[in-house]
Copies of this chain bind each other. A is one copy, B any other.
Amino acid sequence: MRIAFLGLGLIGGSVARAVRAHGLAGAPAELVAWTRDGSGPRAALDDGVINEAAPDAAAAVDGARLVVLAAPPLACVELLRRLGRDGDLHHSLGANATVTDVASTKAALLATAADGGVPYVGGHPMAGREASGFDASDGTLFSGRPWVLTEAVHGGDAGMVRELARACGARPMDLDAATHDRLVAAISHLPLVASVALVEAVAGTEDWPGAQALAASGWRDTTRLARGDVTMGAEIAASNAVAIAARMRDLRARLDEWIELLEAPGGPDVAAVRDRLATARQRLDG
């Protein structure tokens, strides 16, 4: 059972470590990886995580039963185009191969795979951290976490992708790509952009040096997402832009209500502010 990784940073590396430790469906797997600059695969080879660092994408894909795209979303779209019937990697893909991925957005990837005749089942393990690169990878990152699987197209083998999720200790969860993208816009992509906007509203202003000296855990936690990988962030934002923008309009409407509450003539109604905070807190756990 040969598994090819195209991309091997935090997420791909974490998947590879888990498969190395647990095998796939209980059987050991042969892992091969390729990335554009080759640094992740070299480190993974040195660590004994993979069996082979492929010289190019075609060599990695050749003979693989499962191809895991583990690059930023737009790079995954490009790889799916290359794996499609008009692409340079199409002839390297075996007859019984399935392509999956671990990207944060799914609809653009699904559409590309469907258009190109790629046997594809999209995947999204729901965990991350702000560090990036293979050096930050961790075979337990997805333990106990949901792992979304989207619609299979062109004979993609969902059962094998489920086994990949289980090998990582994750819980496979079927969800159509459009719904997935709408839901992660809410709980993942909106928090990312809101975190960046918060940094932009404060860091770099004339008050920043003094404010920074006073910043505590609240500031650190609310801005943690703004420290993530910028290419990943940009490709997530770009590939789910419509859904994110819709959520940002909702956030802006709530901010407008808060501004009105705080700027009320004679000062804010403390009881109303308290009620609003209590309602938000209840909903968070409801």
Chain B residue numbers with a CB within 8 Å of A273 are: 233-234, 237-238
Interface string of A221-256 (1 = CB under 8 A from B): 111111100110111011001101101111111111
- Integer count of this chain's copies in the complex: 2
Supposing A148-B214, A210-B179 touch, asked if A202 and B186 sit within 8 A by C-beta, the answer is: yes
Supposing A187-B212, A284-B199 touch, asked if A252 and B252 sit within 8 A by C-beta, the answer is: yes
Pick from B74, B175, B201: contact of A190, CB below 8 A: B201
Known interface pairs A148-B214, A233-B273, A234-B270; 4 further A-B residue pairs with C-beta atoms within 8 A, sorted by A's residue number: A186-B201, A190-B198, A199-B283, A202-B250
Q: Check A1 for interface membership: any CB of B closer than 8 A.
A: no
Supposing A128-B218, A201-B190 touch, asked if A207 and B195 sit within 8 A by C-beta, the answer is: no
Q: Show the binding face of A for B, using Cβ within 8 Å.
A: 74, 126-129, 145-146, 148, 173, 175, 179, 182-184, 186-188, 190-205, 207-208, 210-219, 221-227, 230-231, 233-235, 237-238, 241-242, 244-245, 247-256, 258-259, 262-263, 267-268, 270-271, 273-274, 276-278, 280-281, 283-284, 286
Q: Is the CB of A230 within 8 A of B199?
A: no
Chain B residue numbers with a CB within 8 Å of A225 are: 218, 221-222
Pick from B188, B195, B234, B277: contact of A230, CB below 8 A: B277
Q: Give the residue name and chain of the B residue nearest to A196 (CB).
A: B280
Supposing A216-B128, A262-B237 touch, asked if A187 and B211 sit within 8 A by C-beta, the answer is: yes
Q: Is the CB of B283 within 8 A of A267?
A: no
CB pairs A–B below 8 angstroms (14 shown):
A74-B270, A146-B213, A186-B207, A191-B218, A192-B218, A194-B194, A196-B258, A199-B280, A221-B222, A221-B224, A230-B278, A233-B274, A234-B277, A238-B270
CA distance A5 to B192 in the complex (A): 41
Chain B residue numbers with a CB within 8 Å of A242 are: 262-263
Q: Is the CB of B218 within 8 A of A221?
A: no
CA distance A31 to B146 in the complex (A): 50
Task: List the 8 shortest-distance A-B pairs measured between CB atoms, nearest first.
Answer: A234-B274, A203-B283, A197-B254, A191-B222, A201-B250, A230-B277, A245-B262, A241-B262
Q: Is the CB of A259 within 8 A of B268?
A: no
Q: Is the CB of A237 within 8 A of B286?
A: no
Distance in Å: Cβ of A185 to nearest Cβ of chain B: 9
Distance in Å: Cβ of A27 to nearest Cβ of chain B: 29
Chain B residue numbers with a CB within 8 Å of A190 are: 198, 201-202
